[in-house]
Chains A and B, each alone.
Chain A
Amino acid sequence: MSKDNQILEDFTSKEYEHGWSVNYEADEAPIGLNEDIIQWISAKKEEPQWLLEWRLKAFRTWLTMEEPKWANVHYPKIDLQGLRYYSAPKQTKKPKNLDEVDPELLDIYKRLGINLNEQKRLQGIAVDAVLDSVSVATTFKDTLSKLGIVFCSFSEAVKEHPDLIKKYLGSVVPMTDNYYAALNSAVFSDGSFCYIPKGVRCPMELSTYFRINAANTGQFERTLIVAEDESYCSYLEGCTAPQRDENQLHAAVVEIYAGTHAEVKYSTVQNWFPGDKNGKGGIYNFVTKRGICAGDHSKISWTQVETGSAVTWKYPSCILKGDYSIGEFYSVAVTNNYQQADTGTKMIHIGKNTKSRIVSKGISAGKSQNSYRGQVQVMKRATNARNFSQCDSLLMGDRCGAHTFPYIDINNPTAKVEHEATTSKIGEDQIFYCNQRGIATEDAVALIVNGYAKEVLNQLPMEFAVEAQKLLALTLEGSVG
C-alpha cells in the first residue's frame, strides 16, 4: 500500500493542455435565469414564435422539478441564477462562408488543433465549430448538400429547415425528461444538426467541436441527428474548456433518430477541464443523450472516451423500438485527482429480436470516484431480446473508488441478458516488466491502459482513436499505482 502511494506521489499531474482562454468582444445575455432571459435568447437567435413557446414551456416545467440526487457524485449546489446563459463573439455581419469568419475565431480552433480551412483539413471530416453559445463555422457544407445531407448549426437549421426541427426536436428526449434536459430545452444555445436523407451513406465523418471560452457562462448545446431509412452516418464530438477556478456548467442534449435499416455511430472524446490537482474548478458535465432506433433493423452505436470534467453525469441510451434493431454502448471513463464520474447507459428493448451490447471500461486514479450505472429494460413485447454487458474497472492506487450499478428489468421470458464485471488493479508486476524492457513508467501505464481500453478505442474512427490514446495517457500522467 505504502508503495503504491509512493509511486502515486512521485508524479505530479501534467497541466491540462487546453486551459487557455482568449478575450473576444462578446455579445452576452445578462446574468440570471428567468422568462425575460429566455425571450432575450430566443430574440437574439431570431427564432419563430413556436420555439419561444416551446422554451418557455420547458422552463415552466423545469421550475417544478428537482435536481436529481441519485447519482454517486457530490458537489456544492450550483447557483443557476449566478450564471450567464448566452455569450457569443460579436460579429458585425453574419459570415456567409468560411472566408468571412473572423480570423481570430478561426485561430482559437487552430490552437486547439482543429483547422477549419477546408483545403488544409484532412479530407473526410466535416466540422461544425461551436464557441460558447454559437456555431462559428461549419466546413464542407456545400459538398454535403449535393448529396442532400444537411450539416449545419442548430440555429441555422431552425431558420432553414423549420419543418424538420419541429418534427424531431424533443421527440427522443422530451423537454420534461429530466431536470437538466428541461433546463437545456429552456435555454439551449447552439449545437449541430445533421440530416441524412433516405438511402444516403454520408461519405465523411461529421463532427462538432465544442469549446467553452467565456467565464461564468453555462454551455447548453443541443444536437439533433436524423438518419432516414437506409442511411448511414458517423458523427464525432470533441470538447475542451479553459482552466478556471470556478466550476462551469455544461448541460447538453443530444437526440438521434434512426429510420429503418439506418445506422448512426456517435463518438465522443470528452476533454472538458477536469479541475486542478486539488479538485478546484472544472466542468460539471450533465448530459442527456438518447437515440431511438425507430425503424426495423436500425442501429445506434455510442462510443465515448470521457477524460475530462470535474463531475460527469451522462447515460447515452438507446430505445430499441424497431424489430431487429441494435443498440451499442462502448465507454472508457477515466477519472483522476478529485474527478467524479457517474456514467453508463440505458438500453430499452421494445421491438422483437432487438440486441444490445454494453462495454464499459472505467479507469480510476488519484482520489477520484468512477461509477458505472446501466439499465437494461426488456418490455413485454420484446420477444428474443438479447443483451450483453461487460463492465470492467481498473484501479490505480488505493484512494480511488470504482462502483458498478447495473439495473436489469425484464418483462419477457424469452430475453437473454448477460452481465460480466471485473475489477483489477494496474499491476506492479506489469509496470516492472515494461520497465525491465526499457520502457519508462509513464509510457508503461499508457501502454497498459490503452491495452485495457482497446475494445472501446477500436470503435473510434482512426484519427480520433490516436488522439484518444494520447489523451488517456495524458490524463493519467502522474497517477501510477
Chain B
Amino acid sequence: MLSIKNLHASIEGTPILRGINLEIKAGEVHAIMGPNGSGKSTLASVLAGREEYEVTDGEVIFNGKDLLEYSPEDRAREGVFLAFQYPVEIPGVSSTNFLRTAVNQVREYRGLDPLDAVKFLTLMKEKMKLVEIDQKLLSRSLNEGFSGGEKKRNEIFQMAMLEPKLSILDETDSGLDIDALKIVSNGVNQLKSKDNATIVVTHYQRLLDYIVPDYVHVLYKGRIVKSGTKELALELEEKGYDWIKEAVDSEATV
C-alpha cells in the first residue's frame, strides 16, 4: 500500500528526514516511536503534503501512485488521513459544516454523488457512536475551546467519517484520559480492515496494548534505526532510548 524509499526532507534548509525506508501493506498496523524531535511529526506532515517541507530525495508510492506529485487535498481524497498532534481551531465553522464539505469533496473526487443533508446526518450519527462523541461538540466551532482530549477524539471521529485507506495517528493518545483512550482505540480497531493500514505515532507502550501493532519502528535523527514487533515497544518502555541512541551515535562517529 505504502512504500517509502530513501526519503529525505528538510525545512528552511535544515534536513530533518534523512533517508526513511518503510513498507506498509494493507491490513497492517505500524507503530512509530522515538525521542522528541526525532522527526515523527515531520514524516507525517511530509506524507500529508505540508508545503513547508521540501522533499530533497527519495520517493513515496501509495497504491501504485507517486504520492509526492499530489496536492495535499488530493492525497486526502486518495485516502491518506492524518490525525494531527495539534488539531487546528477554526472559529465560526461547525464540525458538521466542515465535515460535510470534506466528505462531499472527497466523494466528488471519487465520482460519487454528494450526500444530502439527511444521508449525511445519518452517517454522522452512526460514526458518532464509534467514538462516543457528543452531538453538542459537533455543533460548536471546530476545535475551538475543545479540551485536549476532545480534540483528539474529534480527529478520530473525522477519520471515521472519511474512511481513509492509510491513517496516520500522530500522538492521538496524548491528552486522553484512561477511559477515552479505550474508547478511541476501540474506534480505531473497529475501523481497521484488511484493505486499510494504520501508522500510530506514540510515546507510550500503553496505547499499543489497545491498538496492537504488527511492527514497531524507532525513529532517531530522521532515520528508522530499529524495527521489530510489539515486544520492541515493551523493551523501549523498560530501557528508554539511550541504548539505541548510543548504538547509532557510536556507529556514526566510527
Contacts and interface: CB of A to CB of B under 8 A. Distances in A.
A433 interface: yes
Nearest to B78: A438
A11 interface: no
A454 interface: yes
Nearest to A361: B92
A435 interface: yes
A288 B75 CA distance: 50
Interface in B10-48: 48
B105 A443 contact: yes
A224 interface: no
A437 interface: yes
Contacts of B81: 436
A334 to B, nearest CB: 15
A435 B72 CA distance: 6
B204 interface: no
Given A432-B50, A433-B84, A438 B92 contact: no
Given A430-B90, A447-B97, A448-B90, A438 B51 contact: no
A3 interface: yes
B92 A450 contact: yes
Contact of A451 (B76, B90, B103): B90
A183 interface: no
A473 to B, nearest CB: 12
A447 B91 CA distance: 10
B172 interface: no
A113 to B, nearest CB: 23
- Say which size band chain B's interface belongs to: 20 to 34
Nearest to B80: A436
Contacts of A427: 88
Interface in A415-460: 427-430, 432-441, 443, 447-448, 450-455
A4 to B, nearest CB: 11
Contacts of B3: none
Interface in B58-110: 71-73, 75-77, 81-82, 84, 87-88, 90-93, 97-99, 101-103, 105-106, 109
A224 B73 CA distance: 50
Interface string A352-365: 00000000000000
A261 to B, nearest CB: 33
Given A450-B92, A452-B91, A438 B77 contact: yes
A454 B105 contact: no
- Say which size band chain A's interface belongs to: 20 to 34
Contacts of B87: 433
A438 B90 contact: no
A447 B106 contact: no
Contacts of B162: 437-438
Contacts, number: 78
Nearest to A428: B52
B205 interface: no
A435 B76 contact: yes
B174 interface: no
A360 to B, nearest CB: 15
Nearest to A449: B92
Contact of A452 (B88, B92, B99, B102): B92
Q: Which of B48, B51, B93, B97 has the most CB of A within 10 A?
A: B93
B93 A450 contact: yes
A430 B93 CA distance: 11
A437 B76 contact: yes
Q: Which of A427, A434, A443, A453 has the most CB of B within 10 A?
A: A434
A432 B45 CA distance: 10
Contacts of B88: 427, 429-430, 432-433
Contacts of B222: none
Contact of B106 (A428, A434, A438): A438
B6 interface: no
Interface in B177-235: none
A450 B73 CA distance: 20
B74 to A, nearest CB: 8
Given A451-B91, A451-B93, A436 B105 contact: no
Nearest to B106: A438
B52 A3 contact: yes
Contacts of A437: 76, 98-99, 102, 106, 158, 162
Nearest to A441: B73
Q: Which of A440, A448, A450, A455 has the most CB of B within 10 A?
A: A440
Given A451-B92, A452-B92, A435 B109 contact: no
A434 B87 CA distance: 11
Q: Which of A436, A441, A448, A453 has the most CB of B within 10 A?
A: A436
Contacts of A451: 90-93, 141
A470 B75 CA distance: 27
Nearest to B105: A438
B120 to A, nearest CB: 14
B92 A432 contact: no
The 4 closest A-B pairs by CB, nearest first: A451-B92, A451-B93, A435-B72, A437-B102
30 contacts: A427-B88, A430-B90, A432-B50, A432-B51, A432-B72, A434-B90, A434-B102, A435-B49, A436-B48, A436-B75, A437-B76, A437-B99, A437-B102, A437-B162, A438-B102, A438-B103, A438-B106, A438-B109, A439-B102, A439-B105, A440-B73, A443-B101, A447-B93, A447-B97, A448-B90, A451-B91, A451-B141, A452-B92, A453-B92, A454-B92
Interface of B: 48-52, 71-73, 75-77, 81-82, 84, 87-88, 90-93, 97-99, 101-103, 105-106, 109, 141, 158, 162
Given A439-B73, A451-B91, 20 more contacts: A427-B88, A429-B88, A430-B90, A432-B72, A435-B73, A436-B48, A436-B76, A436-B81, A437-B98, A437-B162, A438-B102, A438-B103, A438-B105, A439-B101, A440-B105, A441-B73, A450-B92, A451-B92, A452-B92, A454-B92
